Structure 1
Amino acid sequence: MWIKNLTVFLGSETFDWSAAELEERLDAHRCPPCGRQSPSSEGFVPPLKNDERMVVAAGSYFYLVHQEITRLLPGPVVKEELDARVEEIREREGRPVGRKERSELKDQITFELLPQAFTRSRRTGVLIDPQRRRVMVDCGSESRSEQVVSALRKALDSLPVTRPTAPSATTAAFAGWLRDPRGLPDGFTLGDRCEFKNGDGASVRITALDLGRDEILAHLEELAAVKVNLAWKDEIEFDLQQDFAIKRLKPLDLIQENLDGINAEDALDEMMARLELQGGTLRTLLDALFEYFEVKAESGPGAD
């Protein structure tokens, strides 16, 4: 396994749970089957198939998996059936169908069709680093990550974490790195992808080009740099967004050699080895980034 995206949450208090305590809490909040009349269900599931443990403890890290099951009932299917019933009422009773009645018909159709709908499961990994008070969700979607953390908060009764903030604008730093990569923090090098945006939603994405070219830097006159591709030593490559979300994590030569060299006896041992290896790299990478930007966890509604 390999964590591909990271939405990081920072704790304002010590994470003092043990693996056994986490196991007990998550076991009480397992993902239930999606009922015939339920649009969705969510909870936690074992990270490994054929293994009932809810938490994998790898070195100083904990790994767990959130699952959401959703019934897929396409809107066009409901609309087609609704239009047919509305037309039937018009022809049979010779009267128009009002807004309230249409809404009631739509609810009735949804109730009738929902048990026949297919279900889709989405599994999202969560890596917890208690030493740094970080909860790292393997997801590129902010809303999905918030949903997972909310479920974890419910399971633990309290999880005082928030998204990281920095006193200085990340976009200004990104622009500075593009103009002069020597300004990057130690250990980081600039890659070949970036994205520019302005307040009106216009955007420009650059891929597989030398980011120091004049025609690319010219975009900084009117647009803000909101994402840059970086490499951390010879270990890992990723795209860093202005909100500190990390996407497209990819192992480089040094890490890939270590991954290929893992000789585990079973799936659990292999997962633990991979988690400990990637977790250690992510810890030092985030340490360097957060020190550079003076990142901290802010108190707020999400920390309760």
Structure 2
Amino acid sequence: MWFRNLQIFRLADTWQYTSDELAAAMQKGIFVGCHATDTMARGWVAPRGNEQELVFSQQKQQLVALGTEQKLLPAAVVRQYAEEKLIDLEAAQGYKPGRKQVKEVMEQMTLELLPRAFVKRSLTYVWIDPVNRWLVVDAASSQRADDAIEQLKLSLGELPLSLLKTQLAPATAMTQWLAEGTAPSGFSIDRDCELRAVAEERAAVRYVRHNLDSEDVRNHIVAGKTVTRLSLTWQDRVSFVLTEQMQIKRVAFLDILKEDAERQAENADDLFAANFSLMCGNLAQLLANLIESLGGESE
């Protein structure tokens, strides 16, 4: 349940859903698995597995989970079966099938093969912080975050939120930090980064497990490249990669945080609650400090 990626949204002041109200609204979009001829199914599931609660709430923080099933049916497999069918069809009618017939056979084979296709299952967690007005999706891609947001909109009717924007663009700030060799208060610069040229070809240089406080890196900045990704650690507790799109990736919590949660827990339910509480508390502080380092939020 510890989030590994943060797609960050700002909730409007009008957000007033209690956990019970949110769970009631989400009943309309509860997860039902793929039927025989479905290619995909999506809906809300209990964040803690087998429980019936669609919203896990702890100290005013809310956690929901979007379940997804997707049928794995490669186009090459459909074509293989369709070609066999088309050969039989050509022999039966005495001439080569036309474009319309080919399309119909492809659709028919897709419907016949879907019930036998493998199913890939995934979970996308969404953390809602009504106190600080954050909605954060644990997703590596914007598309996956958009899917969760869209499902929330379908359940709630409307969802007043916006992308997080800061006064100082992340790329500008990260470039400045590397050029000066100093991180903002509370943060330290780690060993991974990506720099890109602003020219049309967008030439890129990536450093992995490399000392970033070097002339080599600074020379790229002098030559006009900007930092588009930078690995950082906050308060020696959480490491992550900040991107130019204000996404936070590869989040890793220090082991001592997880050990603290384990010491507090007497059973699996207690451990889940302790993990969630520690995660929310640390991420809320991290976001506040990061936004401050980027000059605050922009209107």
**TM-score computed with the length of structure 1 as normaliser:** 0.90
1:168–1:47 Cα change, 3 Å:
same
Write the distance in 2 (CA, Å) between the matches of 1:253 and 1:267: 18
Counterpart of 1:273?
274
Counterpart of 2:188?
189
1:135–1:99 Cα change, 3 Å:
same
Greater relative CO, 1 or 2 (CA 8 Å, sep 6+): 1
1:218–1:99 Cα change, 3 Å:
farther
Write the distance in 1 (CA, Å) between the matches of 2:138 and 2:169: 24
Write the distance in 2 (CA, Å) between the matches of 1:124 and 1:49: 13
Written as runs of structure 1 = structure 2, the 5 A alignment for 1:194-213 is 194-198=193-197, 199-200=200-201, 202-213=203-214
Write the distance in 2 (CA, Å) between the matches of 1:261 and 1:107: 56
- The alignment status of 1:103 with 2:103, answered yes or no, reads yes
Q: How far did 1:92 drift? A: 4.2
Secondary structure of 2:193 counterpart: strand
Secondary structure of 1:28 counterpart: helix
Counterpart of 1:283?
284
Matched-pair identity in %: 28
Secondary structure of 1:15 counterpart: coil
Write the distance in 2 (CA, Å) between the matches of 1:213 and 1:99: 61
- Is the CA contact (8 Å cut-off) linking 2:167 and 2:298 kept in structure 1? no
- Is the CA contact (8 Å cut-off) linking 1:10 and 1:297 kept in structure 2? no
Q: How far did 1:85 drift? A: 2.5
Q: How far did 1:257 drift? A: 4.2
Amino acid at match of 1:192: R
Q: How far did 1:245 drift? A: 0.9
Written as runs of structure 1 = structure 2, the 5 A alignment for 1:44-193 is 44-182=44-182, 184-193=183-192
Write the distance in 2 (CA, Å) between the matches of 1:274 and 1:38: 36
Counterpart of 1:301?
none
Counterpart of 1:3?
3
- Is the CA contact (8 Å cut-off) linking 1:234 and 1:253 kept in structure 2? no
- Is the CA contact (8 Å cut-off) linking 1:11 and 1:134 kept in structure 2? yes
Please provide the CA RMSD for this pair: 2.0
Amino acid at match of 1:277: L
Amino acid at match of 2:143: S
Amino acid at match of 2:257: I
Amino acid at match of 1:187: G
- Is the CA contact (8 Å cut-off) linking 2:62 and 2:127 kept in structure 1? yes
- Is the CA contact (8 Å cut-off) linking 2:166 and 2:298 kept in structure 1? no
Secondary structure of 2:219 counterpart: helix
Write the distance in 2 (CA, Å) between the matches of 1:57 and 1:219: 47
Q: How far did 1:222 drift? A: 4.5
Q: How far did 1:243 drift? A: 1.2
Secondary structure of 2:21 counterpart: helix
Q: How far did 1:150 drift? A: 0.9
1:115–1:26 Cα change, 3 Å:
same
Q: Using the TM superposition, name which of 102-111 and 288-297 deviates more.
A: 288-297
Q: How far did 1:49 drift? A: 2.4
Counterpart of 1:261?
263
- Is the CA contact (8 Å cut-off) linking 1:167 and 1:295 kept in structure 2? yes
Amino acid at match of 1:237: S
Unaligned segments of structure 1, at least 5 residues: 299-304
- The alignment status of 1:24 with 2:20, answered yes or no, reads no
Write the distance in 2 (CA, Å) between the matches of 1:224 and 1:265: 49
Paired residues in the alignment total 296
1:40–1:253 Cα change, 3 Å:
closer
Secondary structure of 2:29 counterpart: coil
Q: How far did 1:254 drift? A: 4.9
Unaligned segments of structure 2, at least 5 residues: none
- Is the CA contact (8 Å cut-off) linking 2:196 and 2:205 kept in structure 1? yes
Secondary structure of 1:261 counterpart: helix
Q: Which runs of 4+ in 1 moved over 6 A?
A: none
Match of 1:247 among 238, 246, 249: 249
